[in-house]
Chains A and B, each alone.
Chain A
Amino acid sequence: MCSLEKRGNLFFLTLTGDDQHRLGPPLISSILSTLSKISSESTPGSVLITTAHGKYFSTGFDLSYARSASSPSEAVDRLKAMVKSLRPVAAAFMSLPMPTIIAVNGHAAAGGFMFPICHDYILMRRDHGVLFMPEVDLALPLPDYFATVMRERIRSPAALRDMMLRGVKVTAEEGVKMGIVDSVYDSTERTMDAAVRLGEELSRRKWNGEVYAEIRKSLYPESCRILGLTQKPLVSKI
């Protein structure tokens, strides 16, 4: 599941346990309610830092839960239900009224890669972990909102093709070259330290969270449309 901790203006959302943090219904709903709590408690200067315990960030939907259904059609229904329930999570990240930082501690694949790509800043350890989209290998289609968010966040056509149409496993350093990852560090601890430093730096700006979220949304109009987010003009002060 996930835990929430607050230190000063920094919220820490952590996927707990040393497993692969597979996105089954319990984890998805736990993340969604945590994001809703964070959003409701936000004040100017709030910042979110997301990370996970262990060697994995998340390897995506819980396919073993889907496959444990009594029939193939029910398995497909379970997968579709997970795809549907992760959509509001992506929408919540996209509209969260504060800067968001992810410290990628290990593999982030498929639905698990949606997490980094929905954060404003991606920090990653260089000694372990890859980012990848295995759908092409698994013969699974990309949910529409996955494809849209990927297109808006991965701007190089070659990088987009390599990740989506080739299933290439991207290390932290390759991620920097591809324009996906912001910065890399020698270990999980250093990645986390850097995330906290960046978080404190952003926090000092005391940005108005609502305006921040609107500006973020204006950068990703297609994603907002597919996630059902509308934009509204705000003038907090002039």
Chain B
Amino acid sequence: MCTIEKRGSLFILILDSDEDDQHRLNPTLISSILSALSEIKSQSTTGSALITVAHGGSGKFFCNGFDFRWAQAVSSQSDARRRLRQMTDSFREVVAAFVSLPMPTVAAISGHVAAAGLVLAFVHDYLLMRSDHGVMYMPEVNLGITLPDYFAAAMRAKIGSPMALRDVVARGVKVRAKEAMEMGIVHSIHDNVESTIEAAMRLGEELVNKKWVGETYAEIRKSLYPELCSALGLTHNLIISKI
């Protein structure tokens, strides 16, 4: 499940660990994130910003992707596939909600982030990562699973170098913070989980101080990732709030 905390204009979305410290995305967590984002959107004002963090448990994982335990807890393979498809479809709405969220978004990556979990990280505007623990990776090629269209679009949108894109998506390379920095995927890296979260808070405050108009912010963001938007079914609106 996830919870929201609000400090001034900063929203903090916390993936908590009551049931699963890997924060695997199953229907419960997906719908919990979706309703949290909808709540945040409805409360947003000029100068809001969002920080996503993962708490609790062993602290080893930020998000380890779709919950395959849940998908496989059925009697037939076709039912398992149906469950995976269900998660893929419902998580698409989470990604769409992030891409159209009317405020800057920051993710404090406190541990491993894999598959759908990496997509969740990538839909934030700024990724901060601890350097003492955790890797980012896309295990699909190892698992023999293709990427949903919006996963691939998110990867292409956020990984600029063709070689880095190949290594992450088509090679399943496990990318540590320092390597992610070199690849231009993360905004900054920090010594441990505490300093990562502190840096995320500082960045959040800095972005809040910009007092950006959220609606325009979201439209500019969307204009940067047209292929991702089209995979998500998001349309673009030209908003001139003032001149």
Q: Do A and B form a real pair?
A: yes
| A interface, CB within 8 angstroms of B | 63, 66-67, 75-76, 79-80, 135-144, 147-148, 150-151, 155-158, 160-161, 164-165, 167
Contact call A157/B213, Cβ cutoff below 8 A: no
Contact call B221/A165, Cβ cutoff below 8 A: yes
Interface residues of B in 206-224 (CB under 8 A from A): 210, 212-213, 216-217, 219-221, 223-224
Contact call B184/A156, Cβ cutoff below 8 A: yes
Contact call B240/A135, Cβ cutoff below 8 A: no
Contact call B187/A165, Cβ cutoff below 8 A: no
B236 neighbours in A (Cβ, 8 Å): 144
Contact call A141/B219, Cβ cutoff below 8 A: yes
Ordered by A's residue number, 14 sampled pairs between the chains whose C-beta atoms are within 8 Å are A66-B243, A75-B243, A76-B240, A136-B212, A136-B220, A139-B241, A139-B242, A141-B223, A144-B223, A150-B224, A151-B224, A157-B184, A165-B104, A165-B217
Query: Roughly how many angstroms separate A66 CA and B160 CA in the complex, as a whole number?
Result: 37
Query: Roughly how many angstroms separate A59 CA and B125 CA in the complex, as a whole number?
Result: 26
Q: Mark B120-152, 1 if CB is under 8 A from A, else 0.
A: 000001100000000000000000000000000
Contact call B224/A160, Cβ cutoff below 8 A: yes
Interface membership of B157, Cβ < 8 A: yes
Q: A76-B243, A157-B184 are in contact. Are A165 and B238 (CB under 8 A)?
A: no
Interface of B is mostly: loop
| Minimum distance in angstroms from B239 CB to a CB of chain A | 5
Query: Roughly how many angstroms separate A161 CA and B210 CA in the complex, as a whole number?
Result: 15
Query: Of A67, A137, A141, A157, which contacts B159 at CB under 8 A?
Result: A157
The number of inter-chain residue pairs (CB within 8 angstroms) is 77
Query: Roughly how many angstroms separate A137 CA and B158 CA in the complex, as a whole number?
Result: 23
Q: A157-B184, A165-B217 are in contact. Are A141 and B224 (CB under 8 A)?
A: no
| Minimum distance in angstroms from A211 CB to a CB of chain B | 26
Contact call B239/A161, Cβ cutoff below 8 A: no
| B interface, CB within 8 angstroms of A | 104, 125-126, 157-160, 184-185, 187, 210, 212-213, 216-217, 219-221, 223-224, 226, 236, 238-243
Contact call B212/A137, Cβ cutoff below 8 A: yes
A157 neighbours in B (Cβ, 8 Å): 157-160, 184-185
A156 neighbours in B (Cβ, 8 Å): 160, 184
Contact call B213/A139, Cβ cutoff below 8 A: yes
The listed residue with most A CB atoms (<10 A of its CB), out of B187, B216, B217, B243, is: B243
| Minimum distance in angstroms from B135 CB to a CB of chain A | 20
B160 neighbours in A (Cβ, 8 Å): 155-158
A137 neighbours in B (Cβ, 8 Å): 210, 212
With A140-B241, A143-B238, A147-B224 given, name 10 new contacts (CB 8 A): A75-B243, A135-B220, A142-B223, A144-B223, A147-B220, A147-B226, A148-B226, A160-B224, A161-B126, A165-B125
Query: Of A80, A138, A147, which contacts B223 at CB under 8 A?
Result: A147
Query: Of A66, A141, A148, which contacts B220 at CB under 8 A?
Result: A141
Contact call B104/A141, Cβ cutoff below 8 A: no
Contact call A79/B243, Cβ cutoff below 8 A: yes
| Minimum distance in angstroms from A198 CB to a CB of chain B | 26
